[in-house]
Structure 1
Amino acid sequence: MKKGLLIAVSAISLWAVSCKKSESGNKNVLKADNSGAILADNGKVDSTIHYNTDINGKKTIKTDYVYKATDGTLVKVVFNYEEKTVSIRSNNKTFILNKLDSKGNETVYEKEDMKATVKRDSLILNQGSNIIELVKTKI
């Protein structure tokens, strides 16, 4: 009887200690940092901008991506958020467009007769009567 009572008391005390919730929470969870977020022209956070963070925690807002056209052509696109430009490189030609407008989920760049509309993972180029649709790749 004493062994059974001792085992029961041990089990209950072990259960009580292990089920105690910590008030501090999980310290391995990273909190979202919206400080210094780039705002669109309408004052909301620009969702087309993605930050790169190095191992020291420094944020870089000049990012480059590879987009793929519907015909399979790969295009390198570099967004420079500090200068408010986008450079599009394809077939050894680079086009640099200036930011015209941003609505939070869509950003428009333009220079002369070329216009680029960026919306999430897609980029639509308009040059005269030509429309080229590009999609961000996972490369």
Structure 2
Amino acid sequence: MKKSLLTLGAVLALTVISCKKNESGNKSVIKTDSSETLVTDNNGKIDSITQGSSTVDVNGQKIVKTDFVYKATDGTLVKVVFKNDPKESTVAITSNKKTFTLPKTETKGDETIYKKDDMTARVKGDSLHLEQGNNIIELKRTKI
């Protein structure tokens, strides 16, 4: 009887210890802000394409930041922030706690190209084509 009670106690103790949840989560996934912002264009119409956007008026000049979450072909989530102000337009790409900011270099039809050093980002519709040296990463915009 004592052996079975000790065995039962040991099994219960192991069960409690092994069922602890890991609160840290996946470190490689970028957490997104769940707040929703309505963006209006100059005519006052609601823009339904953007996921998170803010407009700041500084000395009569509008600075627009638009946040998107893109997904790579391997499933990795990447945060992309487009910033448009009168001086320059940039894209900031954040993944694995690293941020790369690239200035806009040219626009060809419906494709926008951002470039800095050996890194190039080509944005066309819902896709972002990222090139760095011989590495090519294809990203698609998600609807989170």
TM bucket, shorter chain? 0.5 to 0.7
Structure 1 residues 41-78: Cα deviation after superposition (integer angstroms, max 9, x where no partner): xxxxxxxx969588xxxx87310100000000000000
Tell me which residue corresponds to 2:74: 71
- 1:95 aligns with 100
2:138 maps to which residue?
A: 133
**Which sections of structure 2, spanning at least 5 residues, go unmatched?**
1-39, 44-48, 56-61
Matched to 1:81, the amino acid is N
Alpha-carbon shift at residue 104 of structure 1 (Å): 3.8
Runs of 4+, deviation exceeding 4 Å: 32-35, 49-54
Deviations along 1:87-107, one digit per CA (max 9) or x if unpaired, are 000000000001010124110
Give the CA RMSD over aligned residues: 2.6
Shift of 1:34: 5.9
TM-score of the superposed pair, with normalisation by structure 2 = 0.56
Identity %: 63
**Going by fraction, where is strand more abundant, 1 or 2?**
2
Gapped runs of 5+ residues in structure 1?
Answer: 1-31, 36-48
Give the length in aligned residue pairs: 91
